[in-house]
Structure formats: structure tokens, C-alpha cells
Amino acid sequence: MDTNNIKLQFDTICASKNIISHIDTDGCDEEFVKATATIVKDFTKKLQELANLNKEEQEKKEIKKRWRPNLGEIYFRINWDDIVSLTWENDTYDNKYYNVRDIYKTREEAEFELERRKIMIELQNYADEHNGEIAHPSYAFWLALDEDDMSITVENDSFLPPVGTVLFSNGDIAYDAIETIGEDRIIKYMFGIDLDKKFHCNGDCECCDEYDPWDEEDED
């Protein structure tokens, strides 16, 4: 067969769906039409497999951004000052907990969040009990992390404080709150750095397993 006399015309190739919409085989014999149909079928199948693969990869990325239990999977949530385990049934209660971000993949994650909430409440209670008047948020003091020596410092730079932070009317009250509640607890649960994992050389040598607190965030 003289293939030069055969014209395959594609009206549209849908880039988003990777689907061939039309092939003109007018004037071609039956064998060629069958062969072409087989090729197109195989090609379309490959494109669909690729689309499914891309969909799976996208779903994995979405799961990585925010975990959601599968049907029948165990998850954990905070119930007052305790941790409970539940089975995901995708019902109203499950989705309510999910929407308010009260779902955790492991008990350890839930326990960490519970302790973080406790510390925030303790800080806010201390501020409420000891603060004087704060005329404007820009006059307030708040806690920050000194990354050089991994300690808590008190900030007041005439700018608006970070959203959601506990405000103190003066620096002395803020430092007293740190001492009362515990600096290590605040560093661990507010800033996510476990000081029990000691630094060796500030990451400047390759001879040890030094702990870099920012590595864990980068991996997420």
C-alpha cells in the first residue's frame, strides 16, 4: 500500500485530556482502517494511563499537604484534656472534626498539639492576670525565638505583633511568664524545637549526627 496516499487528519487533540477527537481515513482500505483503529486505541489507552498516573501523583501531593483518613482508618482527636481514637466513617462528626483541624494521624501528634494549646492558655492566663493597659498592639511585648542560641526573647519593635500571639504590657511581665511556664516547654511546643536533642557543632561539621531543628520542617 502506498502510504503517501493516506492522510491522517486530526481535528483536535485535547491537551488537557489527551484524547484524539477525529481521524479522517476516507479513501483508505479496510485493513488500514483496522490497523489505524488499533494504533489509536493503544495510543488512547496509554494516554489514559498517563492521566491516571498524574491524578494519583496529584492526590499524593494533596495528602501530603493535609492528611485525611481513608474510610475505616483510625485517627486521633483532642477531647477536652484527653486524646481519643476514632474510626473514620466520613460522617457529619468526622467531617466536623476535620474542618476545625481536630484530626491527627498519630497519638503523638495529638498529644503535641494538646500540650501546645495548654501552653498558649497558660501564657494568655498569665498575661490577663498581670498585664496593665495596652493602649495599642504596637506598644505590646511578645515572645520570639532567638535562633542564634535557641532561647526565648521578648520583642517590642513598634510594629504590629504576629497574629495570634500572646501580648504583654511590658517586658518584665513577659520574662516572668517565660520563667513561670518554662522556657524549654515554650521552645518545644510553640516553636517546635526539642532541646533534648543537643547541638554539636551548629551544623558546620560532617563528623557527627548534629540536630538541625529546621530539617524537620524542610522535609514536610
C-beta separation of 156 from 141 below 8 A: yes
pLDDT, position 22:
52
3-state helix, strand, coil in the chain (%, to 5): 45, 15, 40
Residuewise pLDDT in 10s, the chain (220 residues): 444 443 443 333 334 444 444 555 556 666 766 676 677 777 778 878 888 887 777 766 665 678 999 999 999 999 999 999 999 999 999 999 999 999 999 999 999 999 999 999 999 999 999 999 999 988 999 999 998 989 999 999 867 888 889 999 999 999 999 999 999 999 999 999 987 765 544 544 444 445 555 555 555 4
pLDDT, position 50:
84
Kindly report the pTM of this predicted structure: 0.60
**How buried is residue 67: exposed, middle or buried, by Cβ count under 10 Å (0-12/13-18/19+)?**
middle
* Bridge pairing between strands 151-155 and 142-146: antiparallel
pLDDT, position 81:
92
What Å distances lie between residue 166 and 7, 124, 125, CA to CA? 73, 6, 10
pLDDT, position 214:
53
pLDDT, position 27:
62
User: Residue ranges of the domains in the chain?
Assistant: 3-65, 67-105, 107-193
- φ, ψ for residue 48, nearest 5 deg: -65, -40
Helices (H), the chain: 30-65, 92-99, 107-130, 171-181, 183-190, 213-219
pLDDT, position 215:
57
Task: Please state the separation of Cα 140 from the chain's center in Å.
Answer: 31
Which amino acid makes up residue 7?
A: K
